[in-house]
């Protein structure tokens, strides 16, 4: 009986010890835990934020689908590779500080660093690392901020270009005003004074054009360019644009030819956009033709499309640079060599304007012989 009682006691004690050392989880609780684990796994796998886990030696142990896309690779390609090998920065000091943090296992958030993807593409990411449950493991998140970075860079470029370009005409205005003041003190040579005034006027016009260009770029890019349609009689419209360039056309003895088919054609469009298009193309043609060169300005109505052509016998565009022509700030190498002034914004604004009017633009050019721009706009008349 005693031994039976002893056995029973041992069993009870064993049972008690067992239940104390391993807290009993009810099956409902267990199901709940399993469900939340499944939820976590699914979130990790399908989250739009790229996640990776790394071990104490910085080797990638797992990653989700977004990380696969970010690294531009296939599913198992990253496993056991060193995360440090993908990270880079132009500033070596900054990079070594960051790598130090990674190696010592610190948690940190939102460090901006460049990521070299598997296909060689260089991206910008915002990197965060958090200590994991077991020793040395960390959860890593990387948010792609390449677009934001590119916009920041473009903005900085834009501001520095704008200020640089605006300084030149302002300096010319101030210089000529100074000369005027000195001239007035002596008040002898009135011809010279008018010359200074002319230059002051020319430079303020130049500055207004530049400011308009900058404003148009920013309005077209931010979508705040308010348009309104009106009937534009093309022949008169062309005439008014041509008159803006009479000075340079006469000075360079340019042979400006016009062709208008049919002679009376009215188009329903936004006048400011059409002005940006025609005046920029014409000013380029005038700028890039040599003395006594030819410039042709024409429109034709072809199958419900108004085809506007601006052609010139100027310096042309190197064939390998044609693809970049409509990008912001682009200037071809022969134009830069000639030291003609320019911002590389004109054609960019032209393309944006053409597209806002629902049209297309094409260019053909032979270096040293000439260039032809062809703009096709949908022909909308009052009857439509």
Interface contacts to ligand ADP, rule CB under 6 A: 280, 284-285, 288, 312, 314-317, 325, 330-332, 335, 342-348, 371
- Smallest distance from ligand ADP to CB 214, Å: 12
- Smallest distance from ligand ADP to CB 329, Å: 8
- Give whichever of 285 and 308 is closer to ligand ADP, judged by the CB atom: 285
Q: List, in order, residues 6 or more apart from 291 with CB less than 8 Å away.
A: 252, 253
Specify the DSSP class assigned to residue 59.
B
Cβ-in-10-Å burial (0-12, 13-18, 19+) of 1 comes to exposed
- Smallest distance from ligand ADP to CB 277, Å: 11
Do the Cβ atoms of 115 and 125 come closer than 8 Å?
yes
- Smallest distance from ligand ADP to CB 345, Å: 6
**Pick from 227, 175, 173: nearest CA to 203:** 173
What is each CA distance from 351 to 34, 64, 276, in whole angstroms? 57, 40, 10
- Smallest distance from ligand ADP to CB 363, Å: 8
- Give whichever of 335 and 357 is closer to ligand ADP, judged by the CB atom: 335
Cα–Cα distance, 121 to 71 (Å, whole number): 9
3-state secondary structure of 255: strand
- Give whichever of 288 and 379 is closer to ligand ADP, judged by the CB atom: 288
- Give whichever of 179 and 296 is closer to ligand ADP, judged by the CB atom: 296
H or E element, residue 60: strand 60-63
- Smallest distance from ligand ADP to CB 364, Å: 11
3-state secondary structure of 256: strand
3-state secondary structure of 34: helix
- Give whichever of 61 and 272 is closer to ligand ADP, judged by the CB atom: 272
- Smallest distance from ligand ADP to CB 272, Å: 17
DSSP 128-163: EEEE-SSTT-EEEEEEE-HHHHHHHHHHHHHHHHHH
- Give whichever of 52 and 332 is closer to ligand ADP, judged by the CB atom: 332
- Give whichever of 155 and 333 is closer to ligand ADP, judged by the CB atom: 333
- Smallest distance from ligand ADP to CB 113, Å: 34
Q: From the CB of residue 4, how many other CB atoms can be counted at a distance below 10 Å? A: 8
Q: List, in order, residues 6 or more apart from 175 with CB less than 8 Å away.
A: none
């Amino acid at each position: 009986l005693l031994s039976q009682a002893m056995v029973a006691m041992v069993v009870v004690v064993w049972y008690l010890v067992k239940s104390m050392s391993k807290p009993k989880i009810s099956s409902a609780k267990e199901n709940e835990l399993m469900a939340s684990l499944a939820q976590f796994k699914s979130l990790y796998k399908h989250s739009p934020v790229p996640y990776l886990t790394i071990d104490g030696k910085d080797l990638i142990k797992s990653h989700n689908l977004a990380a696969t896309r970010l690294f531009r690779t296939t599913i198992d390609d990253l496993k056991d590779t060193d995360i440090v090998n993908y990270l880079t920065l132009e500033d070596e000091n900054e990079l070594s500080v960051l790598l130090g943090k990674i190696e010592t296992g610190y948690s940190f958030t939102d460090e901006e660093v460049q990521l070299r993807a598997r296909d060689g593409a260089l991206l910008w990411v915002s990197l965060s690392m958090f200590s994991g449950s077991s020793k040395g493991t960390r959860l890593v998140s990387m948010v792609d901020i390449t677009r934001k970075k590119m916009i920041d860079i473009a903005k900085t470029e834009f501001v520095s270009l704008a200020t640089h370009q605006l300084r030149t005409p302002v300096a010319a205005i101030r210089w000529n005003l100074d000369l005027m003041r000195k001239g007035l003190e002596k008040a002898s040579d009135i011809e010279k004074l008018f010359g200074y005034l002319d230059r002051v006027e020319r430079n303020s016009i130049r500055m207004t054009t530049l400011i308009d260009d900058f404003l148009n770029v920013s309005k077209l890019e931010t979508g705040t360019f308010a348009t309104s349609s009106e009937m534009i009689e093309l022949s008169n419209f062309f005439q008014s644009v041509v008159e803006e360039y009479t000075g340079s056309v006469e000075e360079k003895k340019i042979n400006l030819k016009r062709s208008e088919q049919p002679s009376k054609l009215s188009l329903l469009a936004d006048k400011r956009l059409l002005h940006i298009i025609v005046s920029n193309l014409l000013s380029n043609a005038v700028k890039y033709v040599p003395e006594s060169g030819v410039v042709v300005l024409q429109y034709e109505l072809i199958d419900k499309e108004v085809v506007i052509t601006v052609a010139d016998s100027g310096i042309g565009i190197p064939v390998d640079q044609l693809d970049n022509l409509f990008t912001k700030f682009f200037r071809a190498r022969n134009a830069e060599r000639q030291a003609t002034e320019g911002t590389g914004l004109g054609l960019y604004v032209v393309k944006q304007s053409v597209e806002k009017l629902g049209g297309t633009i094409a260019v053909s050019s032979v270096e040293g012989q000439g260039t032809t721009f062809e703009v096709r706009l949908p022909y909308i008349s009052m009857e439509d």
